[in-house]
Amino acid sequence: MKRALVTGARGFVGRAAVRALAAAGYEVHPVSRGRREGPGWHTADLLDPAAAAELMRDARPSHLLHLAWTTEHGRYWEDPANADWLAATRRLLEAFGEAGGSRFVLAGSCAQYEWGGGEPLSETGTPRSPATLYGRAKQDASEIVEASGLSTATALLFFPYGPHERPERLVPSVARRLLAGEEAPTSSGTQVRDFIHVSDCGGALAALLDSDVTGPVNIGSGEGSAVAEVAEAVARIVGRPELLRVGALPGGDRTSVVAAVRRLCDEVGFRPRLSLEQGLRDAVEWWRQRTRRR
């Protein structure tokens, strides 16, 4: 049986990836910094130089999906810890190779691209010119992974949303306020982004890990939506559109950040299941249930 080690398994995307890999028949070994959540879980602080080798001895993985990184909302873009996670990724990759691992997939980011053009961002045609410390560290990690000599890929994640998302982000911040009967302010929302439901993101990561596709692969829907349109859809689903305040917050621009998904669809063989409407309904219902439990 194929054994997949998943770092960052308690995170927003990690939860979905663990479920998808288990459904695909993998023996999944989730890793988190905190408590174990069940059989097969491992706890490790990957910033500890000794952690990677110890994990390999314990889990003996054939496949590794590396999701763990600095993710604190509003801080991670320029967090000095990005350099620490780059070093941790190098150690993890080396330990995995020394332990005989065969397939390594790194979670990268659309922040590795140069933003500003109007065309979908392409793995082969769009320049890599990260504007943030986070994007530069992810790009450096991608280059290290791709030069390792193993079978590797970098999953360039666009804008996942859905259950377990950090409450400060767009969809939950609007949904939670409206569900509480409060006004929900947003920016002008003119920026266009590629939103993908987290279950589809997890499914795409599992499919990529299970494939022999190498190099960068975009993980997105291939469709762009203005942030204001997404907020308006959430307000309509909640049933409180009169409480939405588009333009009440500063920010908003005309950039378009949308994935070209030919590699994901044609080479990996994965296509998202959920439309934006279906995905937003699922996300709103998840937050609605948690509002009722309070």
- The verdict on pTM exceeding 0.95 is yes
Enumerate residues 6+ apart whose C-beta is below 8 A from 5.
Answer: 29, 31, 42, 55, 59, 61, 63, 64, 65, 96
Q: Give the distance from CA 255 to its chain's centroid.
A: 20
pLDDT confidence of residue 160: 98
pLDDT confidence of residue 294: 58
Round to whole Å and give the CA distance between 292 and 166. Answer: 18
pLDDT confidence of residue 39: 77
CB-CB contact of 210 with 233 (8 Å)? no
Round to whole Å and give the CA distance between 210 and 41. Answer: 20
Token representation of residue 223 = 């469709």
pLDDT confidence of residue 38: 75
Phi first, then psi: give them for residue 158, nearest 5 degrees: -95, -110
Collapsed DSSP state (helix, strand, coil) of residue 254: coil
Dihedral sign computed on CA atoms, order 195, 154, 135, 19:
positive
Structure confidence by residue, pLDDT tens digits, 274-286:
999 999 999 999 9
Give the burial string for 16-51 (b: 16+ CB within 10 Å, else e): bbbebbeeeebbbbbbbeeeeeeeebbebebeeeeb
pLDDT confidence of residue 1: 82
Largest CA-CA distance found in the chain, in angstroms, rounded: 58
Q: For the chain, which residues score pLDDT lower than 50?
A: none
Residue found by looking up tokens 């080690």 in the block: 5
Round to whole Å and give the CA distance between 223 and 205. Answer: 18
Amino acid at 52: A
pLDDT confidence of residue 64: 98
Helix (H) or strand (E) holding 207: helix 198-209
pLDDT confidence of residue 92: 98
pLDDT confidence of residue 51: 97
